[in-house]
Amino acid sequence: MVGHGARGRSGGRPTLEEVAARAGVGRGTVSRVINGSPRVSDATRAAVEAAVAELGYVPNTAARALAANRTDAIALVVPEPETRFFAEPYFSDMLKGVGSELSDTEMQLLLIFAGSDRERRRLAQYLAAHRVDGVLLVSVHADDPLPDMLSQLEIPAVISGPRSAAESLASVDSDNYGGARSAVEHLLSRGRRRIAHITGRLDVYGAQRRVDGYRAALRDAGHAEDEQLIEAGDFTEEGGRRAMAELLRRRPDLDAVFAGSDVTAAGARQVLREAGRSIPDDVALVGYDDSAIARHMEPPLTSVRQPIEEMGRAMIDLLLAEIADRRPAASRGLDRQQVVLATELVERASS
């Protein structure tokens, strides 16, 4: 038996490979044992620990970091074109919250855009090389392959808003259903009866929940649902213009609009004004996000405030907890952590 502190076959300090050879396992298994992973049988753990003791293997800090795939870096992945990221306040507010929560840590933040197939392929290669400790996914669509890829790679990840009610990743979201209800209830309380809704992208679960909240508020007030008053948007200004023009064509008698975002509301407002409709006298208008756009619009826009910066901070807290635990939530067998933060209706002159 080789005594503690003995040199390995290489003549220097014993290596990870030599421990693996002594224990009869792969180097990845040795890394998992050294770093406390639960994905190792008791018998294998005992064999590796015996080999470590016999060879006197002591991982130095750099080797431990490599073995543990610790990079002290987190990726904020946005599966959207860069133009949309810089055009919509949601993203900058999210980035602000994430950055402020990371400021007291040693973690570096990488901003990665993955709006095209080519960018997604490059991202997959980057993540497969384990160059980050964890990933924040922002603005994810229902059919996006990135979340499942992260699960397969066993990279800790937190998503901003679940893809569905059965989301497998940890997520942080605002109460989209309750926020939409409050917007429509407010319009009803102002005497509006023909309330249109310009949705967000309907492959985003949060947008679907806002439609559910819109419908529920009307139903509970005794109003029959009118599908002609619902038009799909995409959270953009151009989408708001296009949807508003279609709604006016179908239902020129509408007297209120609940838009899926403040940016969408800005587009809708432009079309309403071009059509000679006064806001709020002819048509009341409510947005979503309570961004700077809402405050600076003329008239100032009533909007549902979702605490986007707080959502960013909460996402970081969940992700750092997963990284510290070193195992994705799915492999721990724990309940999915789905954090939902409250929304608030901010009333202004547009309604």
Q: Is residue 351 part of a domain?
A: no
Question: Does residue 44 sit in the same domain as residue 151?
Answer: no
Q: Which of 6, 34, 68 is the last residue of a domain?
A: 68
* Same-domain status, 318 and 210: no
User: In whole angstroms, what is the distance from residue 154 CA to residue 330 CA?
Assistant: 9
Residue 234 maps to which CATH number? 3.40.50.2300
Q: Where are the alpha helices (H) located in the chain, listed in sequence order?
A: 16-23, 27-34, 42-55, 61-67, 82-87, 89-102, 117-128, 146-153, 176-189, 205-220, 237-250, 262-274, 292-296, 308-325, 329-332
For the whole model, what pTM was predicted?
0.75
In a domain, 6, yes or no: no
Q: Is residue 9 part of a domain?
A: no
**Together in a domain, 81 and 130:** yes
Q: Is residue 3 in some structural domain? A: no
Count the domains in the chain: 3
Examine the fold and report which residue of 24, 47, 68 is the final residue of a domain before the chain moves on: 68
Same domain, 124 and 186: no
Residue 233 lies inside a defined structural domain of this protein: yes
DSSP 127: H
Q: Are 78 and 133 found together in one domain?
A: yes
Shared domain for 96 and 142, answered yes or no, is yes
> Is there a single domain that holds both residue 100 and residue 60?
no
Residue 24, SS3 per DSSP = coil
CA distance 33 to 38: 8
Give the pLDDT score at 7: 42
- The answer to whether residue 142 sits within a structural domain is yes
Structural element, H or E, at residue 138: strand 134-138
Shared-domain flag, residues 137 and 233:
no
Range(s) of the domain holding residue 127: 73-173+309-326+335-340
The rounded distance, in Å, linking the Cα atoms of 95 and 185 is 31
Q: Report CA 346 to chain centroid distance, whole Å.
A: 24
Same domain membership, residue 189 and residue 161: no
Inter-residue contact 266 to 272 (CB < 8 Å): no
In a domain, 243, yes or no: yes
249 in a structural domain:
yes
Question: Any idea what the CATH number is for the domain that residue 46 is in?
Answer: 1.10.260.40
Which of 39, 68, 97 is where one domain is finished? 68
> Does residue 40 sit in the same domain as residue 108?
no
At 61 the pLDDT is: 45
Q: Cα(313)–Cα(94) distance, rounded to whole angstroms?
A: 8
46 and 143, same domain (yes or no): no
pLDDT, averaged per 10 consecutive residues of the chain (351 residues), comes to 40 75 85 73 89 77 50 88 82 90 85 87 86 90 84 89 88 96 98 97 94 98 94 96 98 98 97 98 97 95 95 92 68 66 98 97
> Do residues 294 and 202 share a domain?
yes
